[in-house]
Structure 1
Amino acid sequence: MINSSEIRQSGFQGEIIQSGDQEYDKARAVFNASIDRRPVLIARCVDADDVARIVTLARRHNLPLAIRSTGHNVAGYAVCDDGVVIDLSLMKAITVDPSARTVRVESGCNWGDVNDALQLHGLAATGGFVSITGVSGLTLGGGLGWLVRKHGLALDNLLGAEIVLADGRKVKANSRENEDLFWAIRGGGGNFGVVTSFEFQAHPAGTVLAGIVLHPASAAASAIRSWRDLEAEAPDESTLGALLFHMPDDPSLPPPMRGAPVAGLGGVYAGPVEEGEKVLQRLREYGPPLVDKFAPTPYNEAQRMADFLWPPGLHGYWKSSYLKALDDAAVDIVVDRFARVPSRQTVIVLENYGNSAWSRVPESATAFGHRNWPWNIVVTSAWSDAKDSERNIAWTRELLDALRPYTAPGAYVNYLGGDEGVDGLQAAYGTKLGRLASIKAKYDPTNLFRLNQNIAPEPGG
């Protein structure tokens, strides 16, 4: 069994946390409160050399190995029972090159960290609808964010990465070095190694037109249809979503709004504010809405505008699927089911990325798949009391089952809840799964990096 003295003897420079230590329970907690796992130890690394040491020791002792960036993934892969957690939270260096419009990011950062650093230069990176999402997990699985329609996914803007492999080697992956690995990490998740740093292309952003309009639940179906129809004409600069949620029970709100179910239509127009005012006029005038919160906003603040909808520390369960179409009947199903949602902390999100920079990337360019489906739904069920888990999970599954006639044969891997198994992998990768398994066999033949949406190495690879 691995112990702290052996780790120190290896030259490890970071922090070691074990059961009984004051920080242990806090260090093993992740975004989803339903995840309650107890690792043998947590190794907070300070650099790639530390990561390589822990990878080598975990492999030598044949221990389960979890990789934690920010612990945001709902499936809880960032922590494990009876194994080792590589915690990257101390690795938060960010280097901006304003002239090249690039940013180098260590893997302990979240997207709020990155865009705060870029905002000083009038730049922004493409990843993250909320600021607390980790750079690493989001990028490796895809990387949706408020610039996705204009500049694509985070992985579409990835210029290169530094990775610790299963044998402890540190390598680079980019368009010139280890090209197969570079292809695989752009969508294939954490299956191929521990990415310790990323280099991204950044883009001019500065001030954007950002916000949301709110409609009462009684008008939710018609409001969502108005957004859907507007999306058919949306320019690349406009990334908008439709949401169903409950307002906070906040005394500062007008009494009729406190805790009220609403439909929200909101997002970011990443272009000249004056143009955005014209493009979003129909959206903002329809109804009219109860509230119009669109305003010129620094991009790094716009990225935080939805944070209140997904606070850490709640129990969570997610289901998601691309949709072949978002017709009136599908909208009615979603709205009807939301009227019977068991928790006021649950949020349903409808997304559209069709006919944009996201969909113009060749399907073969990265491991990420299914760019041909323009619509997506993600049901982010959340609740406070563990005893309500069964009821909330059942409701979530029933909603996706009711949408089965409209769902496409594809899913976004970062939105999967963790219980989909082989079906989830097939939905996420389709025909690319075989190529990914072959690359997995090359770089991780023993499947050391298996605590994820796991792609097993090709037999005999």
Structure 2
Amino acid sequence: MSTRTNDAPITLIAPGDAEYELLRSTYTTVGSPAVVALPRSPAEVAAALRTARERELPVAVRSGGHGLSGSGTNNGGLVIDLRALDRIDVLDRAAGLVRVEAGARWAEVARALAPHGLAISSGDHGNVGVGGLATGGGVGWLVRHYGLTIDRIRAVEIVLPDGSFVRADAGHEPDLFWLMRGAGAGAGIATAFEIEAAEIGQVGLVHLTTAVDPAGETLRQWEAAVAAAPRALSTAVTLTSRGPAATTAFITAVVASDDPDLVRDSVTPLLDIGRAQVHEARLVPYSAMVPLAHLHPNTGQMPSHTTNGLLTEMSPDAARSLVVAASGPRPALVQLRSLGGAVGDVDPEETAFAHRHQRTLVVASMFPPADRADLTAAWEPVAAHSDGAYVNFESAPDDLTRAQAYPGRTGTRVEQLLRRYDPDGVLSPGGTQDT
């Protein structure tokens, strides 16, 4: 159905409508909202917020992709689904400046930018929506070369909870601009971003596996090899195990260059990790890292529990704890993502993402029949070594996880600004604009 609220027509989908079953849920969570709004413009986003106020409905915001926390849906409330806001434009090819609407997904962005020889480092799955990732951080396949996605955002277009429209950048609404890069979803609904893309065509892609010893020395070697490598190299590691003595690391290495010599030199130190075996080594377009094949409906098909932490150093105890988490009686799926490089070029106070000195992001997940208590038990050995957290990889956000994501002065400023921009808590309780 199409409803006119003031001067802005907006499509509202309710239970019983044909589209409802494909719009009610996120990737991880089945929801039963009273209504799903499909705005096509910032004015219609404002109209959706007015509808929620008039009907006294809680609000969830969805950018179209995975959303681990499930905050992109709800039960009995109004969901603002941004999928129709998906335009992608190159504003200035020479400067690499692009405008991307929040409902686009990163596979679509990569495809649109590829003919221009541009890319945005943007997570590791093409189905993730732009809005959630680009307000939370953005740890992508080119993270050590490019930095976080938020580090290249030059402006954000936002509908505030009161329905007003703002364009925030370094010279206009600087507090809001700071907040939207790392903690902004609770302050307003981002509808578009201006982002500085990198000049990237093909990248080096190498897949390796290696055995992981019970003490985790293999993981210490991985961290040291990446830290010493050119910042063109970014890596992701997945640990699987059949017990403490049978843990394997699956390493994906991406080099932000099509120069075979640089690719070889960047990856060669990884070959000395444990008994590394190379399974694939080739040049691919960056768009192959977040392909269109990733795009799929989100119908709650992957319920999961996920948490994360940041490691400043892969100490012997920290490395051992990761092997324990991945190989214990209730093993977690443990993933490691290399940081450093360009991430550390940004002052910790420049954005609401304050974590600039850590070397590794660790993500742990469990799936039914395991529950949150099982994940907490498996994560406990790792938590003792954690130095902060990343908001986009937390499926059960609470006061503790928010304090870890936004520590100290950053956290104080975040809370003050959320109260300023959303004094009635219209959006803040959800914590993030779901990816």
TM over 0.5: yes
TM-superposed deviation, 1:363:
1.2
| Counterpart position of 2:271 | 284
CA contact (8 A) 1:210 1:269 kept: yes
Assess if the C-alpha contact under 8 Å between 1:45 and 1:86 holds in 2.
yes
Asked if the contact 1:318/1:379 (under 8 Å) is kept, the reply is: yes
Correspondence list, 1:36-51, <5 A = 36-51=30-45
Q: Which amino acid aligns with 1:405?
A: A
Q: Encode CA deviations 1:298-352: one digit per residue, 9 max, x unaligned.
A: 11102349969xx972111101111242123322232233224657xx6311223
- Any idea what SS the aligned residue of 1:235 has? coil
TM-fit CA distance, 1:238: 0.9
Structure 1 residues 306 and 335, CA gap change in structure 2 (3 angstroms): farther
Tell me if the contact between 1:126 and 1:153 (Cα under 8 Å) persists in the aligned partners.
Answer: yes
Choose which of 81, 88, 92 in structure 2 pairs with 1:87: 81
SS at match of 1:433: helix
How many residue pairs get aligned? The number is 424
Q: Residues 15-62 of structure 1, C-alpha deviation per residue, up to 9 Å, x if partnerless?
A: 321012222222112110xx2321110011111111111112212333
Question: How far apart are the structure 2 equivalents of 1:152 and 1:297?
Answer: 21
Does structure 1 residue 351 correspond to structure 2 residue 328? Answer: no
The answer to whether residue 309 in structure 2 is matched with residue 321 in structure 1 is: yes
Quote the RMSD (CA, aligned, Å): 2.7
Structure 2 equivalent of residue 235 of structure 1: 230
Aligned residues: percent identity?
A: 29
Q: Confirm or deny: 8 A CA contact 1:126 1:147 kept in the other structure.
A: yes
* Residue 331 in structure 1 maps to residue 327 in structure 2: no
- Alpha carbons of 1:209 and 1:306: their partners in 2 closer, same or farther (altered >3 Å)? farther
Deviates more, 1:278-287 or 1:442-451: 278-287
Structure 1 contact 224–242 (Cα < 8 Å) conserved: no
Matches within 5 A, 1:137-286: 137-216=132-211, 221-245=216-240, 262-271=248-257, 272-284=259-271, 286=273
CA shift at 1:101, angstroms? 0.9
- 1:128 Cα deviation from its structure 2 partner: 1.4
Whether the 8 Å CA contact 2:60–2:80 is kept in 1: the answer is yes
Instruction: Measure, in 1, the Cα distance between the counterparts of 2:111 and 2:130.
Output: 13
Contact 1:123 1:203 (8 Å CA) reproduced? yes
Shift in Å, 1:291: 4.1
Residues 107-127 of structure 1: per-residue CA shift (max 9 Å, x gap): 111111111111111110122
Partner Cα distance (2:254, 2:422) in 1: 40
Whether the 8 Å CA contact 2:215–2:319 is kept in 1: the answer is: no
Deviation for aligned residue 1:262: 3.4
Residues 454 and 168 of structure 1: is their aligned pair in 2 closer, same or farther, counting only changes over 3 Å? same
SS at match of 1:268: strand
| Structure 2 counterparts to residues 382-461 of structure 1, below 5 A | 382-383=367-368, 388-390=369-371, 393-408=372-387, 410-419=388-397, 421-430=398-407, 431-453=409-431
User: Displacement, 1:218?
Assistant: 6.5
Give unpaired runs (5+ residues) of structure 2: none
Cα offset, 1:161, TM superposition: 1.2
The residue that corresponds to 1:257 in the other structure is: none
Checking the alignment, whether the CA contact within 8 Å between 1:220 and 1:262 is kept in structure 2 is: no
Q: 1:363 aligns with which of 329, 348, 364?
A: 348
How many angstroms apart in 2 are the aligned matches of 1:425 and 1:411? 8
Match 2:14 to one of 18, 21, 30: 18
Counterpart contact for 1:149–1:353, Cα < 8 Å: yes
Q: Give, as a single letter, the amino acid of the residue that structure 1 aligns with 2:356.
A: R
1:307 and 1:416 map into 2 onto residues whose CA distance is: 21
- 1:294 corresponds to 2:290: no
Say yes or no: does 1:27 pair with 2:27: no
For residues 328 and 231 of structure 1, do their structure 2 counterparts lie closer, same or farther at Cα, with a shift above 3 Å needed? same
Report if the CA contact (8 A) 2:120-2:197 is conserved. Answer: yes
Assess if the C-alpha contact under 8 Å between 1:211 and 1:305 holds in 2. no
Greater mean alpha carbon deviation, residues 70-79 or residues 155-164: 70-79
Letter in 2 for 1:326: M
Change in CA separation of 1:319 and 1:306 when aligned onto 2, cut-off 3 Å: farther
The CA deviation string for residues 404-458 of structure 1, in whole angstroms up to 9 with x for no partner, is 33222x1111112224x11111111112222222222322111111342279xxx
Q: Which moved more, 1:13-22 or 1:42-51?
A: 13-22
